[in-house]
Amino acid sequence: MAPPTRKPSKVKPAGFPTRDQIMDFIATSDTPAGKREIARAFGLKGQEKIALKALLKDMADEGLIDIGPARAFHKMGGVPKVTVLRIVDVDGNQLLGVPDKWEGEGIPPPRLRIVERGKRSALTVGDRILARTEEAGNGWIAHPMKKLAKGSDLMLGVIEAKEGGKLWLRPVDKRIRNATPISDAGDAKPGDLVLAEASGRPPRISARITDILGDPFAPKSFSLIAIHKHGIPFVFPDATEEEAVRVASLPLHEDKREDLRHLPIVAIDPVDARDFDDAVWAAPDEDPANPGGFRAIVAIADVSYYVRPGGSLDREARKRGNSVYFPDRVVPMLPHQLSSDMCSLRAEEDRAAMACHLVIDAKGKVTSWRFTRAVIRVAANIPYEQAQAAIDGEVENPLLDTALRPLWACWALLAKARDARSPLDLDLPERRVVLDENGRIVSVAVRERLDAHRLIEDYMIAANVAAAKALEAKKAPVMYRIHEPPGREKLVALKEYLKTFDMEFALGQVIQPSTFNRLIAKLGDNEARPQIMEQILRTQTQAYYGPQNAGHFGLALGSYAHFTSPIRRYSDLLVHRALVGAYGLELPAPKDKAIPERSSLSGEDMANMGRVGELISQHERRAMEAERETIDRYVAAFLATRVGEVVECRITGVQNFGFFATVEGLGGDGLVPVSTLGAERFFFDEAGKALEGMSSGDRYTVGQHLPLRLVEADPINGALRFEIPEGANHLPVRGDRLRGKPLQRRGRPSNIRHIGSARGKHRKK
C-alpha cells in the first residue's frame, strides 16, 4: 500500500516547479540531482529552497522518488545516477548488475547491463562497482567508474558472547584477526554461524545479523562457510531445473550417432567420484601401416547435446564456470538431473557421448584423430585402486583381458612419448578427507598416486590435444587452456633460493619444463626435495582460459584445450560446441520449442570467447580457494582433539614474524611466532627463506622437519598455531643438508633482516 500523502507544508511561490517538472529534471540530469542542483536549475532562492525541501520530502513519502548516494534523488523504481551495483549474472558477453542496496519495497530491483570500455577490468559475478547509470530504451545500463572491495560490507562469522553478555562476531577468515561488536543480533544466538552487514566507519564498525546459517560444527557447515564466503552459486533457479527435466527426455538419435555399444569401454575414476564424464578403450591397431601401434577411444559425456546456447541451463553453467568439490558435497555446474544422471556415464546404461578416436604409433605419437557423436554403454565403472589391483594380479576382474590390459599396453606407448617431451614433473601430494555417514571426520590422508591415475591422465591429455588441433585445422574458435612460462622475476627469486642450497641455476638458458626436472633429478631422495619442488611450483605462472593460443608450458605442449570434463567445466562445453559446428555433428532440432535448436557454438559464443575465458578463469580460482579453505577447516577440526600434543611437522613458509608449519601427512598450515622461539635475536634471510639465530646460528628454514606442540586448532577459520616444545631436540646442524652432507655455515647475506628477539621488538636493519 502506498504511504499517505503528506499535506503541503507551505504555499508554493509563483514559478515554483511542479512534481512532474522535478521528476523530469531528475530523470534527464547528466549529473546526480540533489536538492542544491534542483534549486539551481529552477533558480530557487531563500524561502523557495525551504519549500523545495518540503516538497521533496512529500514526494519521497508518496513513493515518487528516493534518495541515494551523495544525497542525490532518483525516481522510485529506478536507480541513482551514480550508485553501487553488485554483479549478479552474465548474459552472453554482457554482465548484469543490481543495486547493492534496494529500497523499492515490493518492486523488484532493476537489472542493469554493465557497459565496459577500453581494457577489460575482469569484472565477474559477485563483484561490486561504483557506476554511472542511465536509462536506455526499456531498461538501464551502467558505466563502471571504480571496482569496490568485494563483499566489503558483508561479513561471515560465528557469534560469541563475552563479558557482560556483549555479543561479538568472530570472523571465519583466518586473515581477519579481530572480532566485530554486534549491534543487532536479531534471533541469532551465541554459537550460530551467521551472515552480517557491516555498518559505521573504522574504528567504530559494528555488525547487523542478516542471515542465520546454523551450527558451524554441524556436518556440511565447513563447505557452507566457503560457499557463502566466496559467493558460489549453489541453488538453481526453477527455470533451470525445469529445462534440465525437459532436455533429459531428448531422444538419443541412435541412428544418427556412431554406435560404440559393442566395445568394452570402461570408466576409471576415484572411489568417491560424484559423476562419471569420461571412459576409455584401446586395442592393437590391425592396420599393417601402423605396426606395434594402437587405436584408442576417449568417450566423453555429450553435454553439449543437452546444454544448448542461450538456454537457462547455459546461463547458469556460465555463471558457475565449474563444479566445486568439497569433502561433504559437490556444488555442480549443472543440475543433478544431468550431472549425476543423463550426462553421467554409468555402467550398463546407454549414454550420449562425444567420441575422440585416436591412432597411436609404436613411439607413442598420436598420428591421427577424428571426433564423432556416439552412443556408448560403459562396461564397468572401476575405481582406480581396483583397476590397479587387477593389473597387479592382486584381484580378479572379468574385464582384465578385454579392457584393462589393452589400455595399459597402449598407455605404455603414450607414457614413452610423454617422457620424450619431458613435461614438468612435480609429484606433490593431494589430501583426501574421509567422512562417516553422519558427515564426521574419519581420517585425513594423502591420496595414493597409482599408475592407474597416470594412465587416465595421459589418455585425457591426448584427447585434449587432439581437440585443440582438430579445431585449429578447421580454423574454428578454440577455448585454450594456457600455461605461460615463468616470468624473469620469479626465476630470479628461484635462483637466489637455490643458491642457499649451493645449487646453480643459470638465467640465460632457454627455460623449459625439463630444466626444472633436471634440478629435481639432482636431488635424488634428499630431504630437501619436497621444499625445492614446492618452490619450483611457486615459480610457475597460473594457468588460465582464453581464445589466443600461448601453449601449455607445464605439459610441454604447443596446443592444448580442455575437452574431457564438460559436466564440470564450462570451457570443455565450449570446445564440444566448437567441434559440433566445425565437423558438422549437429543432430535434429528438438521438437520441444522451449529448448534451443542448436547445440553448436552460437554467434554470441564466438564473439565472447575472450570475455568468457576471463570469467571462467576467475571462477576456477574461486573454486580452488574455497576447496582448499574447506580442507583446512576439516584438518583443524580433526586436530582439535589433539591440542597440547607434540606432532611431527615440516616448515612450509618463513616470514619475518615467524614461520608456518604443516602436520606431516595431514596438511593445514599453522604459525609459530618468532616471539616464541627463545630469548635470542633472529634474522630473516629472504633468499634462503629462513630465520637464523643471531648468536647461535640456528636456522629455521623451509622444508625442515621438527616436532611442534599444537597450541590451537580452530575449525571455524581453519587456523592452527604451534610452539616449540620445551627441551625438544629439534634444531638442525648449522646450515642446511644437501646430498647427505652438512654444508658449511655461510656468511650472513646482505638481504638478511634483523627482526629482534623473543620479547617482540621487531626492528628492521
pLDDT digit string, tens, across residues 308-349: 999 999 999 999 999 999 998 999 999 999 999 999 999 999
| Confidence band for 72, pLDDT divided at 50, 70 and 90 | low
Mean pLDDT, residues 463-478: 98
The pLDDT, as a whole number, for residue 742 is: 33
- The proportion of the chain whose per-residue pLDDT surpasses 90, expressed as a percent, equals 46
Rounded Cα distance, 244 and 224, in Å: 25
Dihedral (Cα; 570, 571, 577, 583), 10-degree rounding: -160
| Confidence band for 61, pLDDT divided at 50, 70 and 90 | low
For the chain, give every domain's residue range: 19-75, 82-148, 154-216, 238-481+548-629, 485-540, 643-754
Per-residue pLDDT for 676 more than 90?
A: no
* Position with higher pLDDT, 699 vs 285: 285
What is the pairing mode between strands 667-673 and 719-723? parallel
Residue located via cell numbers 626436472 = 517
CATH superfamily of domain region 154-216: Nucleic acid-binding proteins (2.40.50.140)
Rounded Cα distance, 46 and 55, in Å: 15
What is residue 550's DSSP assignment?
Answer: -
The pLDDT, as a whole number, for residue 305 is: 98
| Confidence band for 480, pLDDT divided at 50, 70 and 90 | very high
The pLDDT, as a whole number, for residue 241 is: 94
Range in 383-392, 462-471, 525-534 with the lowest mean pLDDT: 525-534
| Confidence band for 670, pLDDT divided at 50, 70 and 90 | very high
Mean pLDDT estimate for the chain = 84
> What values do phi and psi take at 28, rounded to 5?
-105, -5
Range in 113-127, 458-472, 511-525, 665-679 with the lowest mean pLDDT: 113-127
| Confidence band for 365, pLDDT divided at 50, 70 and 90 | very high
Q: Which of 273-277, 406-410, 503-507, 643-647 has the highest mean pLDDT?
A: 406-410
All 3 cell numbers of residue 391?
Answer: 593389473
Rounded Cα distance, 303 and 337, in Å: 12
Per-residue pLDDT for 735 more than 70?
A: no
* Position with higher pLDDT, 634 vs 355: 355
Per-residue pLDDT for 730 more than 70?
A: no
Are 409 and 360 contacting, i.e. CB atoms less than 8 angstroms apart? Answer: no
The pLDDT, as a whole number, for residue 474 is: 97
Per-residue pLDDT for 31 more than 80?
A: no
Handedness of CA 669, 673, 678, 682 (dihedral sign): positive
Domain 19-75: which topology?
Arc Repressor Mutant, subunit A (1.10.10)
Mean pLDDT, residues 460-489: 97
* Position with higher pLDDT, 218 vs 736: 218
pLDDT per position as a tens digit, 545-603: 999 999 999 999 999 999 999 999 999 999 999 999 999 999 999 999 999 999 999 98
C-alpha closest to that of 65 among 42, 110, 33: 33
Rounded Cα distance, 218 and 142, in Å: 42
The pLDDT, as a whole number, for residue 752 is: 41
* Position with higher pLDDT, 388 vs 532: 388
pLDDT per position as a tens digit, 85-126: 888 777 766 788 888 776 554 556 788 889 887 655 567 777
Mean pLDDT, residues 483-487: 95
Question: Are the folds of 154-216 and 643-754 the same?
Answer: yes
Q: Establish whether the linkage from the previous residue to 203 is cis, with ω within 30° of 0.
A: yes
CATH superfamily of domain region 643-754: Nucleic acid-binding proteins (2.40.50.140)
| Confidence band for 67, pLDDT divided at 50, 70 and 90 | low
Q: Which of 70-84, 188-202, 355-369 has the highest mean pLDDT?
A: 355-369
Per-residue pLDDT for 252 more than 80?
A: yes
**CATH number for the domain running over 82-148:** 2.40.50.140
The pLDDT, as a whole number, for residue 118 is: 61
Q: Which of 79-88, 100-109, 481-490 has the highest mean pLDDT?
A: 481-490
